[in-house]
Structure 1
Amino acid sequence: MEETKDTRKVREGEEIDGRKIEKFLRQNFDEIPDEPLQVRQFGAGHSNLTYELKAGDWEAVLRRPPKGPVAPKAHDMEREYRVLKALHNKFPLAPEPYVFDEGKVLGKPFFIMERRHGFVVDTEFPDEMKDVPDLARKLSSTMVDRLVELHSIDYKATGLEQMVKPEGFMERQVHGWIKRFDQARTDDVVSGERLKKWLTHHVPDSNEASIIHYDYKLNNAMFNEKAEMTGLFDWEMTTVGDPLADLGAAMSYWIEKDDPGLIQTGLGKPPVTIQDGFYTRDEFIQRYAQRSGRDMEQIHVYVTFAYFKLAGIVQQIYYRYKKGQTNDPRFADMNVFVNNLIEHAEETAGL
């Protein structure tokens, strides 16, 4: 099968039954040509498993939970499918979802969605984008502006209203992620008690609610040769809540060149945002404030919580590795990253 830059051969232990998938596809899609189904895996990501499906010139994407037991309410494929159904027409950067299976075919739920094309910018620039003038600034401003655009959509006009409960969002988030962190904690990570106490005493009191992606980061987006966004992915955490929580989460992923080394390399090679020309977090926040008109007085609280939330997400992944539920070697030292995220969150809070 033709090699592509964003897919790879399926990792050992993460295979899916191609015959069952092909039968399912032909039952649900009349337009698939009579050619063998080819399955490849998208290489990025540490959580859900995503595969490219191709038969002739027909193509789509399959998304399913990771192998082994998962945390309660995590990796909810049906919910992500419904979110995309509700959002695609209002926010076209969200791929169109085609069909959902509750687990009858593979034993795990999955959905099939539209295949988008472009370039994912992660730890280096794709060759096709390197000649774009002011590339780093364009990517930075595009990331801000698309987030503001998402937050400007009336969620009540999308169908999401039936799926969410925006009242008391930050209160639930803080206490919920403390509980998740504690449930997944292993003996080689810090307890974070001082940080958890600070967070419970500084919950922002916000009544504003908007659609939030809640995993908004550069390598969850796709761009064309002009640095225009062509797709936004990984809508698993999407909900309706405080838009500044979304901004805070985005900033926890937006690494700067002056950040501690272990923050830069916690998920592998440092992202391109450490390079000259990219917005700093302060510049990102300032542009967001200008474009959205929102008050940034408490943004340090949102960013502090975002680092703690990220620590909880990483710890859940590490917990699965520690318990032998996955053998992906990328996860072996994630406890070190968790400890550094807690320390970085404490510094952000001024503790």
Structure 2
Amino acid sequence: MDTMQVRASERLDAVKLQAFLANHFPELPKGKLEITQFSAGHSNLTYCLKIADFEVVLRRPPLGPVAKKAHDMKREFTILSALHPFFKAVPQPYVYVEDSDIIGSDFFLMERKRGVVLDTHFPTGTVPSEELACQLSEMMVDSLVALHAIPYQDTSLKDMVKPDGFMERQVHGWIERYERAKTAEIAEVATLTEWLKKHVPNNKEATIIHYDYKLNNAMFSNDYAEMIGLFDWEMTTVGDPLADVGVAMSYWMQADDPKMLLHALGEPPVTIMPGFYTRQQFIERYAEKSGRDVSNIQYYCTFAYFKLAVICQQIYYRYVKGQTQDDRFAQMDKMVAALIQQASESI
């Protein structure tokens, strides 16, 4: 996963950080602290801290006001701590720091993993093939099935979650979030949200769900033989596993998707290339491997498109209000419109 120079508005205090690292890691090598930033992601900020051959990853909330209960660093750290023993793709968490005097907010440190993260291109040196695309698709499905098979009652998550009524709370909660963050009227929203409220599934099963499961949150070994990393656990909870499948499908684009959806934020992901599963193939393999009834999956996909639209709208709202100066967010309203359209058509 590549890093870049830290954006000017998102710099950290290197002196205070180096002093903290020296206190916390007794084997820290001598040398100057180098701080770079991971470019991916639109939510929490993620940095690489490096001194000689020592590397850790730092996660902190975004700058400016944030939505209530969002970007909870302590919660994400607790989730990583609970799941790392069960799921080796989870980065090992090291320490959560509540003291905001060091970088201006709380943060946590975790393991730095090295491998291949795929988004819009394969890395130089990899010749994509239909066989490789199929293999990656299978790994994405099978890892999701494995995550959903972890007994959450055997982890500390059991004390953090309320699985009963999960989808009901999700639907009403995300509709409320949209209303708080909207910056323009979109005609289809009223019909879409009424339909979502009227057709909430009554699935009682609850599992651990990542809830932000997508290809560029996964890391593969250099030979693509296994998934060695899975990142961005801030949305993770215990709830309806089919909601997780729906979210995964809202990110999983295929070649025949509308151009506005494919190109709203630039180039489309590699999943449009020959050999990658279609959404239907992904869902069918998930059903086969998990043994779950997916006959109502279209509801979950529709809701997931709406949920993703709300996340994009919240980001765009922060940009419009001047709470972030990240120019990547200037066109986010186009993605919102594309996702609302996709959700409306999927009904």
TM over 0.5, shorter chain: yes
Is 1:85 aligned with 2:81?
yes
Q: Which residue of 2 aligns with 1:344?
A: 342
**Residues 90 and 158, structure 1, Cα contact 8 Å, conserved in 2:** no
Amino acid across the alignment from 1:323: K
Q: 2:152 aligns with which of 143, 151, 155?
A: 155
Query: Which residue number corresponds to residue 61 of structure 1?
Result: 57
Which one is further off, 330-339 or 233-242?
330-339
Shift of the alpha carbon at 1:129? 3.5
The runs of 5 or more residues in structure 1 that have no matched partner are none
Whether 1:199 and 2:196 are equivalent positions in the alignment is yes
Q: 2:222 & 2:97 partners in 1: Cα distance?
A: 35
Q: Are the counterparts in 2 of residues 8 and 42 from structure 1 also a CA contact under 8 Å?
A: yes
Q: For residues 271-350 of structure 1, what are the structure 2 equivalents within 5 Å?
A: 271-349=269-347
What's the offset of the Cα at 1:63? 0.5
Mapped to 2, the partners of 1:190 and 1:267 lie a distance apart of 22
TM-score by length of 2: 0.97
Q: Which whole-Å deviations, capped at 9, do the CAs of 1:309-332 have from their partners, x for residues lacking one?
A: 000000000000000111111111
Corresponding residue of 1:19: 15
Is the CA contact 1:140–1:279 (under 8 Å) kept in the aligned structure 2?
Answer: yes
Q: What secondary structure sits across from 1:82 in the alignment?
A: helix
1:315 & 1:340 partners in 2: Cα distance? 12
Q: Is the 8 A contact 2:122 2:128 kept in 1?
A: no
Q: Is residue 2:45 matched to residue 1:49? A: yes
Structure 1 segments (4+ residues) deviating >6 Å: none
1:226 Cα deviation from its structure 2 partner: 2.4
Aligned residues: 345
Q: Does 1:108 align with 2:116?
A: no
Compute the TM-score of the two structures, normalised by the length of structure 1.
0.96
What does residue 235 of structure 1 align with? Answer: 233
CA distance in 2, matches of 1:184, 1:41: 27
Distance 1:131 1:334, change over 3 A: closer
Q: How does 1:139-218 map onto structure 2 within 5 Å?
A: 139-187=136-184, 189-190=186-187, 192-218=189-215
Which residue of structure 2 aligns with residue 269 of structure 1? Answer: 267
Contact 2:250–2:304, Cα closer than 8 Å, also in 1: yes
Contact 1:132 1:226 survives alignment (8 Å): no
- Distance in 2 between the 1:143 and 1:309 partners? 21
Q: Percent identity?
A: 58
| Contact preservation (8 Å) 1:190, 1:339 | no
Unpaired runs of 5+ residues, structure 2, are: none
Whole-Å separation in 2 of the counterparts to 1:22 and 1:67: 21
CA deviations on 1:21-62 (whole Å, 9 max, x unpaired) are 111111111121011111000111111110011111111000
